[in-house]
Structure formats: structure tokens, C-alpha cells
């Protein structure tokens, strides 16, 4: 999908403890189970539509305005070529030239992009931050302060206001950290960089279309190093598709102090992907003795009352209410918290597919609404596997006949399934948790 939004700091790539369908593995910043990648990823699946290189053109106007860094001697030439491609997609020359005036290749952006997968966190460390007492308290204050507009948004889009507030809290700490990078400069730098240039060039063209539409002047279009913008960190393509002007001034302003348009845009986005008002994202549950861990699979959905017949109950010991069909999710395997997750879980995944992010949003929303902290313990003695260790695990699994269909260091559904199969072969509960203990067992 080309509509994914981007968080400012954090992306986690925490995969499901349960096997899941293809979207996670397809994600360019795929779910990595039991770890969280800070400084977030960018690309959305399918977003990297190839943009075909146009023949070289040399419009003189752009040339003088570009400061080409010595570290990227080709940047100015690339920008001249790109100008022709942008104009071919409907950007006017005047808007283009104003947008790129004074920009330069930004090595700090490339540094962030290259280093982002180095930082990993476990889900419990992530959740400690995502739903910290401070973030919960600030969320309650933010909700109270903007109660009127959030009520209006909830009524108009049918998205629970606590969820919108929680996304705001995770994406920008309620508007405190929206990112101050020049979006045109960041995206041009990333598009020039060879690694994911098609995706970023598409974003850059979308950013120019926003300027063309007049929602914001060029230098006020700020965001994260990867081009995620405003209170809830929309990437430009998502902005073009989903951003709304709720204030009625003719501008979709997601950057300014007033969060109204940004929060409405977020609700519009969730609404578009099928949010069900009043349905939980998930509910913490306790599992019975002898629970069949293989049934903790996103593909395996039942009504909570049916799960209750199997002994899966709320933390109060009572059946979870029948909000809709749900699957059991074990983000840290059998030793961690378990959740029944509903269709709304998949809607939050449209913002970010990482389980840690989705649980972080959902749980923060619950806490802002006055709900209890997660009650179960996490395996806090575990640490996140490094990228090399994840690759090593995949190599060892594949070598023992549990084919992970690739050694990419990403713990997606195929690797989780291989872990389950290995666990079964050695008489362990097949919870699919790709832990250090499993790696040691494989060694
Ligand atoms: Ca507006």
C-alpha cells in the first residue's frame, strides 16, 4: 500500500509472535520479532512504484540555486534531471524552482537512513516508553484540551478519540516533536541516494504536489529526516490521499500549532481502512494450562465467547465481550502477555505494521481512557536479537530443515513458522518466539 504513514522516532519492527499473513514480510521495513527498530522506517509496501527516469534535461533556472555538497557531487545534476520528471508529472516550473531554492544534499539524512536498523528494543522496553506514565498523563491533558475538536472528529469519522490521541502521542509526543527537517531537502537527498530512490522520488513528487496545492509554503514543510510530516507524521503520498481541512480555511495544515487538521486527517485515514468505533484493538487475556500455541495465529479467528470455551479469558477471569472475531497474539511468546486482537488491530497496522507499534497505540489509548496497565509479565531477562543473530538463526533453522525461505535478518511469518516447527521437533511449546534461547538451542 502506498499510504503508510511514518512515525517520527520510532518504528518498531516487532513481529507477531504468531504467524501472520504476507503483508508483514513484504514490508520494506518488515516486522522483526522481539525487537524494535528505532528511528523508523519508511517505505510502505507497494509504495516504491518505479518512476521512470526521464531523459536528461538541463533547465538553467534550477542550476544556480542548488548548493551541491562536495560529498555528493552528482546531486545538482540529479536535481536538474529530476526537475524534468517532476514537471512531466504536473509540477509547475515556478513551484519546483521555489521548492528547491537553497536546498543541498544532506548527509545527516543518509546517516540516519543507514543506521536505523542498528537500534533495537524489545517490546516491553518499547511499551515502557510508548505508554509511560508521562505519556499517559500528557495524553489525558491533550485530550481534555482538545476535547471539543476530538469529539467532533469522532462523530464525523467514527474513530474513537483516544486512539487518535494515542497516535498523536506516539508520532510527535502530542505535537512536541514534529520534526524540523526541510522535507524537500530530505526527500531529495534520499531520492538521490541509490538505495530506495524510487520510493523517495515518489514522495518528493507528492511533496511538490502539496506545495503546488498551496497547503503550506516550501520552507514551512518540515518533518522527520524521512519526510514524515506534522503532528501525526504523514508521508506526502498519504497526505495527498487522506489529509483533510477540518478548520475550513482552505488549507490542510498538519504542521501548525493547531492540531485540528492533523487529527482529523488521522481519523480519516483510520476510517478509510475500516475502523469500527467502540471495538477494542485488543484485550489482554490469560491462557489456560495446556493452551495450543499453534492456535495463536492471526489467521485463526473466533468470537471471544468461542475462545472462552477453550479457556481463553479476560484478566478478570470472565469471557471477553463479543466485539467481533479475534485471534490470539503473543508478542513475546508463551512467557509474555497474550491478547485477543480484533479487526481494529489491522486498521492500526495501516499506520505501521509492527506489532509493538500497534500494541503501543492501542494500549496508550486504553490508558488515556483510564484503563489498567498490561498485567502480565514480560520475559524481561531476554534481550533483542541483533541483526546478525537473526540471520544466524535463519541460517541454522534452514540448515536443520526448517526453511525460512531467505536469510534476511527479518523475523516475518515464514521465520516464525520455522521457529514453531523447530520448537515442536524438540518438544517445546510452538509459540514461534524467536528468542536468544532458541538461537542457543539451535547452535
Ligand atoms: Ca485547515
Q: What gap in Å lies between CA 432 and CA 411, rounded to an integer? A: 10
Measure 163 CA to ligand 1 centroid, in angstroms: 21
Residue 233 gets the label, from left (phi > 0), alpha (psi -120 to 50) or beta, of left
Which residues make beta-bridge pairs with 181?
223
Per DSSP, the three-state class of 104 is strand
Q: What does pTM read for this prediction? A: 0.83
Q: Residue 129 has which C-alpha cell?
A: 516508553
* Residue 207 alpha carbon to ligand 1 centre in Å: 17
Distance of CA 84 to the CA centre of its chain: 32
Contact, 89 vs 205, CB < 8 A? Answer: yes
271 CA to centre of ligand 1 in angstroms: 19
Contact predicate 45/28, CB 8 Å: yes
Q: Where are the domains of the chain?
A: 282-368, 387-442
CA of 250 to the centre of ligand 1 (A): 6
The pLDDT tens digits along the chain (443 residues) read 333 443 333 333 333 333 222 222 222 222 222 222 322 333 232 222 222 222 223 333 333 344 444 467 899 999 999 999 999 999 999 999 999 999 999 999 998 888 765 457 899 999 999 999 999 999 999 999 999 999 999 999 999 999 999 999 999 999 999 999 999 999 999 999 988 899 999 999 999 999 999 999 999 999 999 999 999 999 999 999 999 999 999 999 999 999 999 999 999 999 999 999 999 999 999 999 999 999 999 999 999 999 999 999 999 999 999 999 999 999 999 999 999 999 999 999 999 888 899 999 999 999 999 999 999 999 999 999 988 999 999 999 999 999 999 999 888 889 999 999 999 999 999 999 999 999 999 99
CA of 301 to the centre of ligand 1 (A): 41
Residue 160 CA to ligand 1 centre (angstroms) = 21
Ligand 1 center to residue 230 CA distance, Å? 13
Amino acid at each position: 500500500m502506498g499510504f503508510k504513514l511514518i512515525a517520527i522516532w520510532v518504528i518498531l519492527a516487532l513481529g507477531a509472535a504468531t504467524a501472520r499473513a504476507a503483508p508483514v514480510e513484504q514490508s520494506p521495513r518488515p516486522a522483526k520479532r522481539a525487537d524494535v527498530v528505532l528511528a523508523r522506517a519508511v517505505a510502505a509496501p507497494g509504495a516504491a512504484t518505479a518512476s521512470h527516469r526521464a531523459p536528461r534535461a538541463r533547465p538553467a533556472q534550477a542550476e544556480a540555486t542548488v548548493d551541491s555538497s562536495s560529498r555528493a557531487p552528482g546531486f545538482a545534476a540529479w536535481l536538474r534531471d529530476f526537475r524534468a520528471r517532476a514537471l512531466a508529472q504536473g509540477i509547475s516550473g515556478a513551484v519546483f524552482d521555489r521548492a528547491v531554492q537553497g536546498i543541498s544534499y544532506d548527509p545527516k539524512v543518509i546517516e540516519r537512513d543507514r543506521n536505523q536498523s542498528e537500534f533495537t528494543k524489545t517490546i516491553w522496553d518499547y511499551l515502557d516508553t510508548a505508554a509511560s506514565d508521562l505519556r499517559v498523563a500528557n495524553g489525558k491533558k491533550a485530550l481534555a484540551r482538545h476535547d471539543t475538536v476530538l469529539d467532533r472528529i469522532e462523530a464525523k469519522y467514527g474513530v474513537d478519540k483516544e486512539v487518535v490521541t494515542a497516535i498523536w502521542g506516539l508520532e510527535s509526543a502530542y505535537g512536541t516533536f514534529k520534526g524540523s527537517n526541510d522535507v524537500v531537502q530530505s526527500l531529495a537527498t534520499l531520492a538521490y541516494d541509490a538505495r530506495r530512490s524510487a520510493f523517495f522520488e515518489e514522495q518528493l513528487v507528492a511533496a511538490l504536489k502539496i506545495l503546488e496545492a498551496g497547503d503550506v509554503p516550501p520552507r514551512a514543510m518540515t518533518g522527520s529526516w524521512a519526510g514524515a510530516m506534522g503532528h501525526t507524521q504523514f508521508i506526502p503520498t498519504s497526505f495527498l490521499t487522506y489529509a483533510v481541512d477540518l478548520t475550513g480555511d482552505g488549507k490542510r495544515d498538519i504542521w501548525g500549532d493547531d492540531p485540528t487538521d492533523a487529527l482529523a486527517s488521522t481519523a480519516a485515514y483510520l476510517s478509510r481502512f475500516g475502523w469500527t468505533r467502540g471495538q477494542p484493538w485488543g484485550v489482554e487475556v490469560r491462557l489456560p494450562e495446556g493452551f495450543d500455541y499453534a492456535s495463536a495465529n492471526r489467521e485463526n479467528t473466533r468470537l471471544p465467547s468461542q475462545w472462552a470455551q477453550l479457556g481463553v479469558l479476560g484478566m478478570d477471569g470472565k469471557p471477553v465481550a463479543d466485539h467481533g472475531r479475534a485471534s490470539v497474539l503473543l508478542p513475546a511468546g508463551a512467557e509474555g502477555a497474550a491478547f485477543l486482537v480484533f479487526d481494529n488491530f489491522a486498521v492500526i497496522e495501516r499506520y505501521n505494521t509492527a506489532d509493538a507499534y500497534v500494541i503501543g497505540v492501542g494500549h496508550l489509548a486504553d490508558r488515556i481512557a483510564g484503563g489498567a496497565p498490561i498485567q502480565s509479565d514480560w520475559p524481561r531477562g531476554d534481550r533483542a536479537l541483533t541483526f546478525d543473530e537473526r540471520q544466524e538463526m535463519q541460517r541454522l533453522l534452514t540448515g536443520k530443515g526448517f526453511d525460512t525461505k531467505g536469510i534476511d535478518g527479518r523475523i516475518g511469518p515464514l521465520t516464525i513458522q520455522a521457529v514453531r516447527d523447530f520448537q515442536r521437533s524438540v518438544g517445546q511449546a510452538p509459540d514461534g518466539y524467536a528468542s536468544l534461547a532458541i538461537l542457543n538451542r539451535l547452535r
